[in-house]
Amino acid sequence: MALIGLTTGAVYALVALGYTLVYGILQLINFAHGDVFALSGLFATTMIGGAVFGLTDTSTTLGVVGGLTATFVIAAVFGAAVNSSIEFVAYRRLRSAPRLAVLITAVGMSFIVQNISLAIYDVNARSIPPLISGHTVFNISGVVYTWDAFFVVLVTAPVLVLLTWLVKSTRQGKAMRATSQDPEAAAIMGINVNRTISFTFALAGALAGIGATLYLVEFNIRYDTGFTLGLIAFTAAVLGGIGNLTGAVLGAILIGMIQAFNEGLSWNAPGTAWTKSIVFGILIAILVFRPEGLLGERTPEGA
Amino acid sequence: MRGYRQRAVRASRLSRVAEAWGTLPERTRSLTPVVIVVALAVTYPFYVDSVPTNLPVIKTVPPLHDAVTILVFVMMGVGLNIVVGYAGLLDLGYVAFYAIGAYTAGWLASGQFEQVKVHFGAVGIPSSATGIHISIWLVLLIAAVVTAVGGILIGLPTLRLRGDYLAIVTLGFGEIIPQFVRNGDELHGFDLTHGTFGISPIDPPGFGHTLNSAIGLPVRYDESFPPTPDRLFFWTILALILLTLFCSMRLRDSRLGRAWIAIREDETAAGAMGIPLMRTKTWAYAGGAFFGGIAGAYIATFNSGAFPTQFDFNISVFLLCMVILGGMGSLWGVVVAGTILAWLNFDGLGNIGSWINTTLLPSSHQIDVPKYSFGIYGIIIVLMMLFRPTGLIPERRRKREIEEATHGGPLDQPLYEMRGADEPGAGERGEPGKVPRG
């Protein structure tokens, strides 16, 4: 059960990181992020399906590996492009506006992106053929862990390492951290603040694209999948302490496990129908009792 | 000579009317448009059927049945305006109040609880019927109070948070309550909400036989032939809206309302001036919830049912869109924008869509316009925020706030958020070299 939670948590982690990155730099809850996730996922189904790579469950191993890798890259680029254009079209003009205005704009953008998905992909849920085998990795006293679930974790881990390296050790990452601490001082130090913010949005979008493709391995995606999933991922980000990268991953894995235990245990658990309530209940409880999250630092915002 | 004089009289008639208008007392002048609009609204049921149905673009005005729903949504928009517009608290879960109101009506005026038999002033219900049957008028009031208490309960733990955190918590509540309603049919074996089927039928409003024989008020709304029931429902919601508007206006100008606006403009300053922040904000929540509760209970009795599918997150955004389009805090703006948007939602988009499809587009490329309704609302929200953040009919005071915010100066940033002492810009108004910190 914990392992299934780990798989779901891995996807949540990728999305939650997107929220946390953007929040860290702009103090903005990017409501549209979940919908960028859904749109990239739907785009990935087009890539994998008949139109471009034409992968099916009978494709050769090499074909699957090549096709999937290409899809990950393309979905990431696509998500990055969508997310940074949202920033360019809407949020950039509102840099000096009250924060409430930006937040409301984000809600509006969320609906716009969702309807773009609706216009292109209609209301049907899209999925991809089972490319990764559902064979068992190991089986400990009845607890079965399959390759497709393991694959998600297998991809997420290096992405997280890469992200950490990017933020901690590169020039661009340094610029991001500087901007998030103090945009004005960063600008004085010669950092192009607008470009850094764009880059952050692109990075968040890319993570959403990768997350969406991974999500497809296990589930299917509809135009409105992003809304609920985005909220759950946001809860994860808040649980870990918003603005804190490690926290987002930890929170996501915790939320994934809570969800898995809730839906998987047959005794004393309310079950799937109550998942949303439980997750949002946690969200409310954290915001009320510990707004800085598990790993976050206390900010004036929460006090 | 006479002809010249006649011409002069005719030419000056208009200007003299304008002059006479100018000499009227301020109160009369400001009330006249209101009276005209109210008169047009009250007589709406009589001329709605004679409006042609082939008008360009919009085709026709909404039929009476839809008009009732539209007005219920306008009422909710006005209620949300108290929270978002007056107090500046972004509430993304207003639909929760709507749900609480509707289900309160469902519990207190239907056969839902078949274990008990409580009757109190309900009209047209056989006395052998099981369940709780309380007079709808009383239920509206109870629903309002219950919802207001719900608003306080939601508000107390969450209103300490600021801005975007508050938005996300209200959003959470807005998601939890519908899910609770959907799953509440088997709480330890007890059927509280009847799950996805919803509670139906709910008793209709009415005045009973005593008032009917005394002053001719209808016994119950749904027992006569169309269009009478819709007319009765229409006039009732109109009265409720006028009441809401009156209360909302009086609240705005009251001590409490001024405290809300002070908090909206600058929370820290308001707190420093001695306004109890928590209590004032909680009252804004309770006030907004109160009217949301009435609206929810009313639409439940109008539809004769409360169903969990009614309470989407989308509704919250839709209501928010009304407030933003009209202008946050601007009562008349919200009424106008609310009427337009609610009409678009129920009839307008369909009508406009079919007009576009028949006149502008070839039959091979038809667009299902209502399908993209929320995309359209999203575009409205974003465009308004980018280009006209004060709304269509800006409240004078609100407009000044926004202008102050965009034109720089010492009041540049802290419209909603006071900066922390360790952030840039804090304490910059001190003497040069003696910048107060902390």
**Domain housing B325:** 31-406
More confident residue, B307 or B122: B307
Cβ–Cβ contact A94 with B under 8 A: yes
Residue B119 placed within a domain: yes
Residue A141: strand, helix, or coil = coil
Using a 10 angstrom Cβ sphere, with 0-12 exposed, 13-18 middle and 19 or more buried, the burial of residue A56 is: middle
The span from the CA of B303 to the CA of B101, in Å, is 13
A280 touches chain B (CB under 8 A): yes
Indicate if the alpha-carbon torsion angle A232, A236, A237, A241 is positive or negative. positive
**pLDDT over threshold 90, residue A286:** no
The DSSP line for A154-200 is HHHHHHHHHHHHHHHHSHHHHHHHHHHH-HHHHHHTT--HHHHHHHH
B-contacting residues in A 7-66 (Cβ below 8 Å): 27-29
| Residue A128 maps to a domain | yes
Question: At B296, phi and psi to the nearest 5?
Answer: -65, -45
Residue B420 in domain: no
- The pLDDT tens digits for A169-218 are 899 988 988 888 888 888 888 888 899 999 999 999 999 999 999 888 88
Nearest to A108 among B173, B182, B382 (CB): B382
* Helices A245-264, A275-289: crossing angle, 10 deg rounding: 140
Chain B stretch 66-95, residues whose beta carbon is closer than 8 A to a beta carbon of chain A? 88, 90, 92
Would A92 be classed as within a structural domain? Answer: yes
Q: In angstroms, what CA-CA distances link A12 with A78, A117, B106?
A: 19, 20, 38
Exposure letters B233-245 (e unless 16+ CB within 10 A, then b): bbebbbebbeebb
Note whether residue A9 is domain-resident.
no
- Whether chain A has a CB inside 8 Å of the CB on B367: the answer is no
A234 touches chain B (CB under 8 A): yes
A112 and B375 within 8 Å at the Cβ level: the answer is yes
The whole-number pLDDT of residue B213 equals: 76
Nearest to B382 among A109, A116, A299 (CB): A109
CB contact under 8 A, A301 and B180: no
Cα separations (Å) of A300 from A27, A119, B203, B428? 12, 41, 50, 19
3-state SS, residue B63:
coil
Residue A232 is assigned to a structural domain of this protein:
no
- DSSP conformational letter for B420: P
Helix (H) or strand (E) holding A143, with range, is strand A143-146
Q: Which of residues 315-354 of B touch A (CB under 8 A)?
A: 317, 320, 324
The minimal CB distance from B183 to the residues A274, A283, A284 is found for A274
Taking the CA of residue A28 and the nearest CA in chain B, the distance in Å comes to 8
B166, B186, B386, B428: which to substitute to probe chain A, counting the most A Cβ within 10 Å? B386
Q: Is A165 on the interface with B (CB under 8 A)?
A: no
What DSSP string describes B124-179?
S--TT--EEEE-HHHHHHHHHHHHHHHHHHHHHHHTTS-HHHHHHHHHHHHHHHHH
Tell me the nearest-neighbour CA distance from A33 into chain B, angstroms. Answer: 14
Q: Domain total for chain A?
A: 1
Instruction: Identify the weakest region by mean pLDDT among A291-300, B136-145, B185-194.
Output: A291-300
In a domain? residue A220:
yes
Please report, as a single letter, which amino acid is at residue B26: E
CB neighbours of A176 closer than 8 A, spacing ≥ 6? Answer: A21, A24, A25, A167, A196, A199, A200
CA distances from A240 to A16, A21, A120, A245, A248 (A): 10, 13, 35, 8, 5
- With CB atoms and an 8 Å threshold, state whether A288 touches B160: yes
The answer to whether residue B362 sits within a structural domain is yes
Yes or no, beta carbons of A185 and B424 under 8 Å apart: yes
Establish if B339 belongs to a structural domain: yes
Q: What percent of chain B has pLDDT over 90?
A: 25
Does residue B53 lie in a domain region?
yes
Q: Which structure tokens are listed for A105?
A: 């704009």
Mean pLDDT of B213-224: 74
DSSP reduced 3-state for A137: strand
Cβ(A152)–Cβ(A10) below 8 Å = yes
Tell whether A112 lies on the interface with B, counting CB pairs under 8 A. Answer: yes
B107 pLDDT higher than 80: yes
- Answer yes or no: is pLDDT of B2 > 80: no
Find the domain containing A108 and state its range. 14-227
Q: Is any Cβ of chain B less than 8 angstroms from the Cβ of A273?
A: yes
Domains identified in chain B, total number:
1
Residue in B181, B319, B381 to test binding to A, most A beta-carbons within 10 Å: B381
* Exposed/middle/buried for residue B109 (C-beta within 10 Å: 0-12, 13-18, 19+): buried
- By C-alpha distance, the chain A residue nearest B163 is A100
Cα gap A182→A100, rounded to integer Å: 20
Contact A99, A20 (CB under 8 A): no
CB environment B420-432: b (16+ within 10 A), e (fewer): eeeeeebeeeeee
Say if the Cβ atoms of B375 and A103 lie within 8 Å. Answer: no
Mean pLDDT for B142-169 is 85
Asked if B404 reaches chain A (Cβ–Cβ under 8 Å), the answer is no
Among residues of chain A, what percentage have pLDDT more than 70?
87
Q: Which two tokens stand for residue B349?
A: 């988009």
Helices B313-326 and B95-108 cross at an angle (nearest 10°) of 120
> Is B350 within the bounds of a domain?
yes
A interface mutation test: which of B89, B92, B165, B318 has the most A CBs within 10 A?
B165
Q: Please give the structure tokens belonging to residue A182.
A: 């103090």
- In-domain check, residue B16: no
Number of Cβ pairs < 8 A linking chain A and chain B = 145
Specify the CATH number for the domain of residue B229. Answer: 1.10.3470
Residue B238 has pLDDT above 90, yes or no: yes
pLDDT digits (tens, 9 = 90+) for B243-281: 999 999 999 999 999 999 998 888 889 989 989 988 999
Q: What's the pLDDT score for residue B426?
A: 47
Q: What is the pLDDT of residue A265?
A: 61
Q: What span, in angstroms and rounded, lies between the C-alpha atoms of A228 and A280?
A: 10
pLDDT of A232 over the 80 cut: yes
The answer to whether B80 and B151 are in contact (CB under 8 A) is: no
Tell me the C-alpha distance between A94 and A96, whole Å. 5
Mean pLDDT calculated for residue range A241-264: 84
Sheet architecture: strand order including B117-120? B109-110, B131-134, B117-120
Residue B433 CB neighbours (<10 A): 5
Residue with tokens 């601490």, as numbered in its chain:
A181
Mean residue pLDDT of chain B comes to: 81
Q: What is the pLDDT of residues B36-75, one digit of tens each?
A: 888 888 888 888 888 777 777 777 788 888 899 999 999 9
pLDDT (average), residues A110-116: 93
| Partner-chain residue, chosen from A111, A182, A302, that has the shortest CB–CB distance to B165 | A302
Q: Which pLDDT score, from 0 to 100, does residue B131 have? A: 80
Confidence label for A16 from pLDDT (cuts 50, 70 and 90)? very high
Paired sense of beta strands B131-134 and B117-120, if any: parallel
What average pLDDT does the segment A242-254 reach? 86
B385 chain-A contacts, CB cut-off 8 A = 90, 94, 97, 101-102, 104-105, 108
Residue B418 pLDDT exceeds 60: no
A269 touches chain B (CB under 8 A): no
Return the biggest CA–CA distance within chain A. Answer: 61
- In chain A, the residue whose alpha carbon lies closest to the alpha carbon of B157 is A288
What residue type is assigned to position B270 of the chain?
A
Minimum CA–CA partner of B172 in chain A: A280
Q: Is A234 a member of any domain?
A: no
DSSP string, A85-124: HHIIIIIGGGTTS-HHHHHHHHHHHHHHHHHHHHHHH-SS
pLDDT digits (tens, 9 = 90+) for A48-102: 876 667 777 666 777 778 888 888 999 999 999 999 999 998 898 888 887 788 8
